[in-house]
Copies of this chain bind each other. A is one copy, B any other.
Amino acid sequence: MAKLGFLMAGACALVLAQASLAAPADQKANEAAFDAGVSSQDQMDWLKTMSSAPNHVGSPHDKANAEFILAKFKEWGWDAKIETFQVLYPTPISTTVEMVAPEKIVLGGQEPAVPGDDTSTNLAGALPPYVAFQGDGDVTGDLVYVNYGLPDDYKALERRGIDVKGKIVIARYGAGWRGLKPKLAQEHGAIGCIIYSDPQQDGYGDGDVYPKGGARPDFGVQRGSVADMTVYPGDPLTPGVGATADAKRLDRKDAVTILKIPVLPMSYGDASKLLSRLGGPLVAGGAQGGLPIAYHTGGDGKVQVHLAVKSEWSLKTVYDVIATLKGSQYPDQWVVRGNHHDGWVFGASDPLSGNVAMLSEAKALGGLWKQGWRPKRTIVYASWDAEEPMLLGSTEWAETHAAELKAKAVIYINTDGNGRGFLGAEGSHDFQHLVNSVAADVTDPQTGVSVAERSRAGVRVRAYDKIGQVSEAALAAAEKGGDLPIGALGSGSDYSAYLQHLGLPALNIGFGGEDESGGVYHSVYDSYHHFTTFDDPGLKYGAALSKTVGRLVLRVADSDTPPQRFGDFADTVSTYLTEVKKLAEDRRTEDRKREKLLTDKAFLLASDPTKPVAPVGAEAKTPHVELAALEDAVDHLKAAAAAYDSAYADKGGKLDQARRVKLNAQLRDIDQLLLDERGLPGRPWYKHMIYAPGRFTGYGAKTLPGVREAIEERRFDDANVYAGRTAKVLDAYAARLEAAKATIEGK
């Protein structure tokens, strides 16, 4: 569902100190045999078949794809089955959006056919543009342009005297997750919401539009889910438990993740007809988009819109394909790897490009199996259904099998849509070095160097050419040829339940940055034609993804002890704490400045009387947060991690079997110690104290979320409470490392 925020993950393994995790010779041979089983042509064939018809949840082709995948797994020697769930999944009966004043113009409807894109010419059975889990309704009202529709946008509007009560808002995609826009509109009293793709970021501002290029054409629309996943993902009716046939379900009206107001997505071709007619003041500078007009806020009654959505709300069947290769030595230690198979329409890029890469891995692993190889640990592959409406297939499976997963799973490795370009990786930082080690051993299809080396070059050149933002840490690592940092996981794909609800370490992997899949994201044009023309011609990066993830799976499955490096995790958490302290200090400075500006009436004096902007509102001062215990815990973690890593590097290769078993047991669930069962404030489903999707960023991660978001949102009591809780989980983690070190040392 989500595009990986494609920066680089990079690698090394040439530095001597890191050699301890490099692949041994027999593993190298096994990986070479694995690579021989990976075929871009296979992936192209499967992609063409699987993306040949609409494959959204409940569609015949989605079920057919699940059965196709099941058959393939079986053919390749896997123990495979389909598990089903019954989930709430609304599909539109009717969608209406039209301007009714100053003139009547009917908008919306299905996206048109595009010459050369064969599947776009036959949309029978395809979903029209809509967003799942909006609130059905039929409203007419004044239109207000709210820019990205995020909290700062409402503050800017308020200072300009614009409110949205009783009105319909139109927000552009971007800057924060889709679902936050109607949620915040609803909270501000709006009666409806339109979300459109602005061409500045997602249209001609991004390149030539489809079909000349890959960027979004003026009639392209982004579908998506607006279920409030910041509270919990998965089936809205079964929070925390699997949506099995006999599960206890909430009444739909009590499901807090379903919005209350009608919402529709829109193309910029349609949006321009509305935005060009808006009255009211000019927008604040940053809200001007890429349409050839001066953007206005509206809200003056000039433009009236009629918006109506009616959905069919029955339960639908979800088809998760689950396939297993049983471990020879540690059958009750599972390496879990998944990618979803449902799309919004044809879903060639999202998700099928990742799914066919996963199938290549499965075929190659099956080939090894047939040659007699047996993994030490059990390998579980999952092709999820119903990711698009809000991670339903993966979440319901995780909730159903929670106890077993917590008792057995070693890691969850996810992919989603894939494309041409650079390796991107996010996840649990104890596996950061493993990702880098693998990246050093996979060849980039375009340059012939390792994907790690290309990533480092990319980071350095982007910094030199001032393209985008490159973190100082990434640049420093790239320049010295070291491990590139991996990102933190927020949400937007199927890892969420495994990481944030169950506490498994997780990775999310993909290539991208040179593809143009963003231009057809969640539209009819995310097709085989677009994908093989603009995103990954020849699926060379599909094969690279298989080789990358295959290595991750093999190295975890076949290692004596899974290859974690805890110093990376400790250093990263230390960085997060530094950020949080800086955040609090910056807030205090800003608080002082704001108070003085208000006292001095500076906002009034600086405001243009012909375009008045009211002062910002007064705010409580940000106090100092009680961080001593958290600082101590981070120190504890750093010391324990360094000591463990050093002890393992010295003696980890020579453990006797009893100590090996004990050590593995100590480490297998160490990441689960990062959970606090009470969860985060207002959203107990999210239990991880280090990684969470942001309440106001959505897909974007917030790290040390209990503390960081409390400071950001001025919940200062929560900040103190969660500083303490976060300290506790880190202390427990550090203590476990100390115990594991003692095991290594025979104590």
Contacts and interface: CB of A to CB of B under 8 A. Distances in A.
Interface footprint category on A = 35 or more
Contacts of A460: 593, 597, 600, 602, 606
B282 A457 contact: no
Given A464-B593, A464-B594, A600-B457, A293 B605 contact: no
Contacts of A457: 600-603, 605-606
A658 interface: no
Contacts of A606: 454, 457-458, 460-462
Given A458-B606, A461-B597, A603-B461, A294 B453 contact: no
A204 B602 contact: no
Nearest to A288: B205
A608 B204 contact: no
A387 to B, nearest CB: 29
Interface string A600-620: 111111111110000010000
A447 B285 CA distance: 23
Question: Which among A282, A514, A605 has the greatest number of chain B C-beta atoms within 10 A?
Answer: A605
- As for how many copies of this chain the complex holds, the number is 2
Interface in A453-469: 453-454, 456-458, 460-462, 464, 467
Contacts of A479: 593, 596
Interface in A213-227: 213, 215
A216 B224 CA distance: 39
A677 interface: no
A694 interface: no
Given A447-B604, A605-B447, A610-B514, A294 B464 contact: no
A282 B199 contact: no
A204 B293 contact: yes
A713 interface: no
Contacts of A293: 204
A609 to B, nearest CB: 5
A461 B602 contact: yes
A207 interface: yes
A57 to B, nearest CB: 34
Interface string A253-293: 00000000000000000000000000000100100101111
A608 to B, nearest CB: 5
A208 interface: yes
A609 B446 contact: yes
Interface of A: 199, 204-209, 213, 215, 282, 285, 288, 290-294, 421, 446-447, 449, 453-454, 456-458, 460-462, 464, 467, 479, 514, 590, 593-594, 596-597, 600-610, 616
Given A457-B603, A460-B602, 4 more contacts: A205-B294, A206-B294, A461-B597, A461-B606
18 contacts: A204-B292, A205-B288, A205-B294, A207-B294, A208-B282, A213-B282, A213-B294, A290-B292, A291-B292, A446-B609, A447-B604, A453-B605, A454-B605, A457-B601, A460-B597, A460-B602, A461-B597, A461-B607
